[in-house]
């Protein structure tokens, strides 16, 4: 992607509660598309709106999201759109549960596109944050060691037991989640699903089905944000709003939280533990989010798995057709190696603290 200082048109995509807001500006700052609110469950409409607008702009449209919105980049990039991330340093303060207004995001691209990060399917909303995120992980190691024996941090199970936990992030999705559930049912396997609150609110019937079929349902925050950018209050609002949506869908919330991108800080881990929440990660990222092809997904899952592995896959957040295609072969390969599938709360030696 060639760096540019401006785009002919710029689209800001903000969010608030369960909805997205879109504003498109021309090079002079006039509204080509005035503020449009799109329901959180209607990402197809949002993508089509921006794709059509990009065609009107001759392909010269910059779609801008911010770091609290990790739900859209995969969908927008898969549609061939140019997508950028605006960080807090170039934006006004945001509300406790929401992004800055869509117009502010569009203005950030109109002012100077070079201050934003151009995203790709392979790097997603983490583009440009690799060194920063590695520093956060290193800085949280001591806190992880403190929390693990307390049952407040889990990353893998026992090396001595042939148990593994299959986990899916970012759902539910109306197309992919039912296909994943159908496949798991066919093989009589239970998994753990870490759900994004905005998607739970949009598709509660899928979450109810997931829980009803014996799978574990966990909390993956409300809007899939980069947690180091959040204050304690903003983090807890994300978690609490998601648990409220889970409770409406299934009758209960979750004490298991998975931070988006696996990025955590010592503060994030401590804040969650103080709320009696357990932070759940993985030790085997299969990389399906990068769309490497079904064969590569199968190879990574089957070859990397060992006793106690927690495998990371996705049932939403972009095009997950490769994951669906690969899943039966993954299950057959792992069953053939003698592994038993369990949910995160059943994984030895970790178990939830007693009430």
Show which residues are catalytic. Answer: 169, 314
Place of tokens 């399917």: 121
The three-state (H, E, C) secondary structure of the chain, written as one string: CCCCCCCCEEEEEEEECCEEEEEEECCCCCEEEEEEEEECCCHHHHHHHHHHHHHHCCCCEEEEEECCCCCCHHHHHHCCCEEEEECHHHCCCCCCCECCCHHHHHHHHHHCHHHCEECCCCCHHHCCCHHHHHHHHHHHHHHHHHHHHHCCEECCCCCCCCEEEEEEECCCCCCHHHHHHHHHHHHCCCCEEEECHHHHHHCHHHHHHHHHCCCEEEECCCCCCCHHHCCHHHHHHHHHHHHHHHHHHHCCCCCEECCHHHCCCHHHHHHHHHCCCEEECCCEECCHHHCCCHHHHHHHHHHHCCCCCEEEEECCCCCCHHHHHHHHHHHHHHHHCCCEECCHHHCCCCCCCCC
Token pair belonging to 41:
């469950």
Find out whether the peptide bond into 172 is cis, omega within 30 degrees of 0: yes
Phi and psi (nearest 5°) for 164? -140, 155
């Amino acid at each position: 992607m060639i760096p540019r200082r401006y785009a002919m048109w710029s689209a800001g995509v903000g969010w608030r509660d369960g909805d997205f807001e879109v504003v498109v500006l021309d090079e002079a700052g006039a509204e080509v598309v005035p503020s449009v609110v799109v329901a959180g469950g209607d990402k197809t409409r949002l993508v089509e709106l921006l794709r059509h607008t990009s065609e009107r702009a001759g392909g010269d449209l910059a779609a801008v999201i911010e770091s609290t919105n990790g739900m859209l980049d995969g969908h927008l990039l898969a549609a061939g759109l140019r997508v950028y991330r605006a960080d807090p340093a170039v934006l006004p303060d945001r509300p406790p549960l929401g992004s800055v207004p869509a117009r502010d995001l569009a203005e950030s691209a109109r002012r100077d596109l070079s201050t934003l990060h151009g995203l790709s399917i392979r790097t997603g909303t983490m583009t440009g944050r690799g060194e920063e995120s590695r520093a956060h992980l290193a800085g949280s190691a001591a806190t992880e060691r403190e929390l693990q024996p307390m049952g407040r941090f889990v990353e893998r199970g026992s090396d001595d037991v042939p148990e593994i936990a299959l986990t899916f992030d970012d759902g539910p999705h109306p197309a992919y989640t039912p296909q994943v559930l159908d496949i798991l049912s066919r093989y009589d396997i239970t998994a753990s699903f870490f759900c994004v609150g905005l998607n739970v609110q949009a598709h509660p019937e899928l979450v109810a089905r997931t829980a009803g079929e014996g799978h574990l349902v966990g909390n993956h925050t409300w809007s899939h944000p980069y947690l180091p950018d959040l204050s304690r209050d903003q983090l807890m609002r994300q978690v609490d709003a998601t648990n409220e949506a889970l409770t409406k869908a299934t009758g209960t919330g979750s004490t298991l939280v998975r931070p988006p991108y696996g990025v955590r800080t010592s503060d994030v881990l401590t804040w969650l533990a103080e709320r009696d929440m357990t932070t759940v990660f993985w030790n085997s990222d299969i990389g399906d989010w990068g769309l490497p092809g079904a064969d590569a997904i199968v190879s990574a899952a089957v070859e990397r798995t060992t006793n106690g592995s927690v495998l990371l896959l996705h049932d939403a957040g972009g095009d997950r057709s490769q994951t669906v295609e690969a899943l039966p072969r993954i299950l057959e390969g792992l069953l053939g190696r003698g592994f038993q599938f369990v949910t995160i709360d059943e994984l030895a030696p970790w178990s939830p603290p007693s009430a």
